Structure 1
Amino acid sequence: PESTGTGRFGKWLENLNDWNLSRSRYWGTPLPIWRTEDTGEEICIQSVEELYNEIEKSVAAGFMKSNLYKDKGFVPGDYNAENYNKIDLHRPYVDDIVLVSKTGKPMKRETDLIDVWFDSGAMPYAQIHYPFENKEILDRGEVYPADFIAEGVDQTRGWFFTLHAIAAMVFDTISFKAVVSNGLVLDKFGNKMSKRLGNAVDPFSTIEQYGSDPLRWYMITNASPWDNLKFNTEGIEEVQRKFFGTLYNTYSFFALYANVDGFEYKEADIPISERPEIDRWILSVLHSLIRETDACYNDYEPTKAGRLISDFVNDNLSNWYVRLNRKRFWGGEYSQDKISAYQTLYTCLETVARLMAPIAPFYADRLYIDLITATKRDNVISVHLAKYPAYNANMVDAELEIRMQTAQDITSMVLALRRKVNIKVRQPLQRIMIPVINDEQRKHIEAVNNLIISEVNVKEVNFVDGGTAGILVKKVKCDFKKLGPKFGKQMKAVAKAVEDMSQEAIAELEKEGKYTFNLEGATVVVETTDVEIINEDIPGWLVANEGKLTVALEVTITEALRHEGIARELINRIQNIRKSSGFEITDKIRMVLSKNPQTDGAVN
């Protein structure tokens, strides 16, 4: 983040002091410098092979009895681990080596060590044994500089600095292109974890209890990596239930019916133009997701990517697509419509597995392998070897996404109103009423009218032209924190004018996003962001408002509606009994209902 980059790190570089490279320690990486006693001659050893050869010269000069590396069977130029395990280049063992100067004087090693941060800063070269091996791939820029590094913010003066310092000194370049600087993990109250306070969480027991992927998904989606995280195990449980549980149930639903019908994706892809609108919609949203998550990952924003994937799985795939299309998977012929449903849901699950793999590697791998094992649509042994999903702009239908989002918003509002008065969705209601503010909004709602009726279980959707005036009563409440600084001494007059706004004026405010008052000869403009628009329920109706969308639900239940609700409740109870009795979905059953005055009218 900028606060670490140009802030903490930038300030450190601006006030940079010389790097004291040496350290006085008993064990560590030695400074490879040998000097004569009078410091008049010295040598800096550049490789183990050079040291080996210099020891040979020292043996010949009589300063060493033998080459201790040769005695141990070490072979210069042989870079395998077995060969290097024969020797130890650390202090104090290397201090036994005495070399000979050009003038024949003995040379002993400088006793100090190299700062351990030099070891860390040399990591990009040491890990590939540069320049003795792999010199070409580093020089060509194939493995260097790093795309990004990840460490805590406390590494600003350590690893972040030494990586660049060595790169600048040796190659006159940078060592890495970006840093993901990790914040601290705090307890759920925002306090630093410590054994003394007894608020530390053991990561291993947490992984054992919840699994590594739910833990990782929780930590990454709950806060950006560079922000401090208030750790709460309840959050992991919520991730387990809401995301992983939902995704598992979605896959289980697909697998259950795919196995019944023998779907293995052997059929040719049904053209997008021939698929139902609901299939085209979810595939459009899927490709929008691919585009957005790819951008997030490239911008080092895994938190945003994870949240986008969660929202897609929960809100669009499970709670909308699967729920609206259950009947397409149930029974019936193996028709083109059913194949389209299978292909669409399979594509969504397979793509989600690849998108989530960087955050939940184990779960994604299992999901992907289970899918491709049945269909043979890929031959990789892991999702991490599969190609990342490719965005296809031709699959995106922005207009369709807007229409469906409108249906989702209206559905969400109506279901919230039902919960407000404890009316189950199984209980039919007569109508909802939607005041439309323009022709475009009406067109979008009309296109998904039947879908809304089915989802919220009402008989009809009525439109009211000209906004809410005359139908719904609204009031406007000032946000004084925003309006106070904006209008100052005029605030009292503005508040009075807002309080006295007519329904027509409120409708104009909603439609245009602002409203102009003339107060004592002065023009005052109030915007929707400056106020809160409140709906007042009318008798027999409940009203909800979100932005430019207002919905009224008639909550009066007639006798006919009550009977229909009882019938739906009966069906639900019977289905639950089927499930608890262990019946398969293909089993047909016979049932007997006892007479009951409360249900007889609903089933006769």
Structure 2
Amino acid sequence: GLMQSNPYKEKGFQPGVYTKENYDKIDLHRPYVDDVILVSKDGKPMKRETDLIDVWFDSGAMPYAQIHYPFENKELLDSHQVYPADFIAEGVDQTRGWFFTLHAIATMVFDSISYKAVISNGLVLDKNGNKMSKRLGNAVDPFSTIEKYGSDPLRWYMITNSSPWDNLKFDVDGVEEVRRKFFGTLYNTYSFFALYANVDEFDYKEADVPMAERPEIDRWILSVLNTLVKNVDTCYNEYEPTKAGRLISEFVNDNLSNWYVRLNRKRFWGGGMTQDKLSAFQTLYTCLETVAKLMAPIAPFYADMLYSDLIAATGRDNVVSVHLAKFPEYKEEMIDKELEVRMQMAQDVTSMVLALRRKVNIKVRQPLQCIMIPVVDEEQRAHIEAVKALIMNEVNVKEIQFVDGAAGVLVKKVKCDFKKLGPKFGKQMKAVAAAVAEMSQEAIAELEKKGSYTFNLDGAEAVIETADVEIFSEDIPGWLVANEGKLTVALEVTVTEELRREGIARELVNRIQNIRKSSGFEITDKIKITLSKNPQTDDAVNEYNDYIRNQVLGTSLTLADNVENGTELNFDDFSLYVSVVKE
């Protein structure tokens, strides 16, 4: 009953040659597969299984069949070491054949489920939501996309753009944006750290600076980092990679790069290794190393390179790959929610003020006089007061004024969101809209403070919530106003002559720093500066001479009638020439 010869060899098939031409010589389907008789270890013939109910039924028996249950490995299944499965994922077309059959057989044989969690994957569509097709010319070649953008940015885009069970509208511009905004930002953050760590020969051999002795900004980012570890670990455990990736992106872009590094650049400059500088190095290193571990499941190659570069200099982990390192564990004692709330308030106010600056095209380097904030309660006042100096420095204003509510200073208005209020009030909607339009400043303040407001409409109560409406503030002369939820800020946009001079000094610092960079100077090189005279800037240069020199490592700053071989600096309505020479 055994084969006398190999039927496939007779057809010229060559095992190990994986070409289309080679495999075209054979067919593994019935009836040809019935000519194949293999030999078991004890010499018995093995033939194709003829007792077949359904191919999906056989597939549904996979959990037991793969371990030859119950003839072998019986204890693995009976002790639930390998069954039920923790997780299963397939396309929506597998609902009946695969997902259902697994459960059906498990119920009949074991009175059990077959798996604990399931995801039915969505489809990858083109950017307009159409099915990809070579015929329509809207198909995207995955290999060329990987070649151009890299596999990790592609994977990160696909995972964070939409949940796995949703259809993905694939747009290569989105991959480029992920590569630039997330991976580019993370790379720049690491490059900044590496630049100054190499200058100061930081290798993390010193003992950790005690948490109580670290500046508040360090304690804040480490608190946010530990909150991130806690939340990302939960997301991974609950099969929510989309949420995990988005949390990591938000931390890197908004908190680590755009806030922590930007606010602390000067701590990494100059001088010896003080405790303050050591704390900054240790804090930023911890953030980068932890991010590498958190992102590794989604971006394995990038994470491994980042991690390897970090530990190569410090040797803190005795492993060769991030994928062999222990996953981070959060420390509850390092999480300070009150501090996180205060800093979030600083970020929110800063973001709103910077948006107002952009609205009237006033650069951040141009100082302004005042921010006015109507506070809705003492808690909000305390939170902003605690980060007042930080906000003023970030948005470049001289003072922050608090006012109790907006009454008498700012005029607020309320606009209905009819999509939310319409289904809620039905025939009452017209009366509710009229009542909302007539709300007093005191009523609006109550709505902001309590989160809801109750109208009495002909004896019937109608309750609206802040989520049902849009609250906005009208601008007042000389000020711009922005409103987000309970937070309102007003920015004074009048530029006095004194403020203008300081703005020119800050602008000159920026321009000279750019010249230093483009000239290839080292960060420690000292320079001599010569600036052409101009009635628009001379007073500012004389008043802020020391400030400008200190900011750019200048040993001298002089005004001259003519500047030979100078670089032209163009301003809005005039130009200057500057010479920057290494000392």
Distance 2:422 2:504 in 1: 54
1:322-337 correspondence runs (5 A)? 322-337=261-276
Q: Are residues 1:578 and 2:499 paired?
A: no
2:479 equivalent to 1:537:
no
Contact 2:353 2:491 in 1 (8 A): yes
Unaligned runs of 5+ in 2: 7-15, 17-26, 40-45, 543-583
Q: State which of 290, 308, 316 in structure 2 corresponds to 1:351.
A: 290
Residue 481 and residue 95 in structure 1: after superposition, are their counterparts in 2 closer, same or farther (change >3 A)? Answer: closer
- Structure 1 counterpart of 2:359, one-letter code: K
Q: How many angstroms does 1:157 deviate by?
A: 2.1
Distance 2:366 2:90 in 1: 55
Q: Which amino acid aligns with 2:148?
A: Q
Check conservation: 1:542, 1:554, Cα contact below 8 A: yes
In 1, Cα distance between the equivalents of 2:440 and 2:168?
47
Name the stretch that deviates more: 155-164 or 280-289: 155-164
* Structure 1 residue 114: Cα displacement: 7.3
The residue type paired with residue 475 of structure 1 is K
Counting only pairs closer than 5 Å after superposition, residues 25-44 of structure 1 correspond to structure 2 as none
Q: Structure 1 residues 473, 199: CA separation in 2 closer, same or farther (over 3 Å shift)?
A: same
SS in 2 for 1:476: strand
1:277 maps to 2:216: yes
Corresponding residue for residue 82 of structure 2 = 143
- Distance, in Å, in 2 between the alignment partners of 1:591 and 1:435 is 45
TM-score, reference length from structure 1? 0.80
Q: CA deviation at 1:499?
A: 2.0
Q: Aligned partner of 1:197: which letter? A: L
User: Who is 2:373 aligned against?
Assistant: 434
Partner of 2:350: 411
Match of 1:307 among 246, 266, 274: 246
In structure 2, what residue type is equivalent to 1:590?
Answer: K
Partner residue of 2:237? 298
Instruction: Judge conservation of contact 1:477–1:498 (CA < 8 Å) in 2.
Output: yes
Cα separation, 2, equivalents of 1:435 and 1:508: 13
Is 1:238 aligned to residue 177 of structure 2? yes
Correspondence for 1:560 among 498, 512, 517: 498
Residue number in structure 2 paired with 1:509: 447
Structure with bigger gyration radius:
1
Residue aligning to 1:212: 151
3-state secondary structure, aligned to 1:593: strand
Query: Which of 206, 212, 231 is residue 267 of structure 1 equivalent to?
Result: 206
The whole-number CA distance in structure 2 between the counterparts of 1:407 and 1:454 is 11
CA distance in 1, matches of 2:296, 2:391: 35
Q: Is the 8 A contact 2:410 2:473 kept in 1?
A: yes
Deviation at 1:69, TM superposition (A): 10
Give 1:329-408 correspondences, 5 Å limit.
Answer: 329-408=268-347
Letter in 2 for 1:452: I
CA deviations 1:37-64 (Å, max 9, x no partner) are: xxxxxxxxxxxxxxxxxxxxxxxxxxx5
CA contact (8 A) 2:451 2:465 kept: yes
Answer whether contact 1:98 1:109 (CA < 8 A) is retained: no
CA contact (8 A) 2:352 2:489 kept: yes
Change (3 A) 1:375 1:594: same
Work out the CA distance in 1 between the residues paired with 2:191 and 2:272.
Answer: 21
Number of residues of Structure 1 aligned to a counterpart in Structure 2:
516
Once the two structures are TM-superposed, the CA of residue 485 in structure 1 deviates from its matched residue by: 3.9
Structure 1 residues 511 and 597, CA, compared in 2 at 3 Å: closer, same or farther?
Answer: same
Query: Identity, % of aligned pairs?
Result: 81
Partner of 1:252: 191
Aligned amino acid, residue 324 of structure 2: L
2:500 alignment partner AA: R
Deviation at 1:135, TM superposition (A): 5.6
How many angstroms apart in 2 are the aligned matches of 1:108 and 1:383? Answer: 46
Q: Distance in 2 between matches of 1:494 and 1:109?
A: 74
What is the rounded CA distance, in whole Å, between the counterparts of 1:121 and 1:327 in structure 2? 62
How far is 1:127 from its partner? 5.2
Q: Which amino acid letter does the alignment assign opposite residue 479 of structure 1?
A: D
Task: Say whether the 8 Å CA contact 1:186–1:230 is kept in structure 2.
Answer: yes
Q: CA RMSD in A?
A: 2.7
- Quote the offset at 1:67 in angstroms: 7.9
For 1:491 and 1:110, locate their aligned partners in 2 and report how far apart those are by CA, in whole Å: 69
Q: Does 1:546 align with 2:546?
A: no
Equivalent residue for 2:547? none
2:536 counterpart SS class: helix
CA distance in 2, matches of 1:332, 1:488: 68
1:499 to 1:207, Cα distance in 2 relative to 1, 3 A:
same
d(CA) in 2 for partners of 1:109, 1:341:
67
Counterpart for residue 550 of structure 2 = none
- In 2: Cα distance, 1:367 partner to 1:153 partner: 37
- Structure 1 segments unaligned to the other structure (5+ residues): 1-63, 71-80, 82-87, 100-106
Kept in 2, the 8 Å contact 1:95–1:109? The answer is no
Change (3 A) 1:96 1:296: closer
Q: Distance in 2 between matches of 1:108 and 1:599?
A: 94
Cα separation, 2, equivalents of 1:538 and 1:98: 89
The residue number in structure 2 matching 1:602 is: 540
Change over 3 Å in CA distance of 1:123–1:108 after alignment to 2: closer
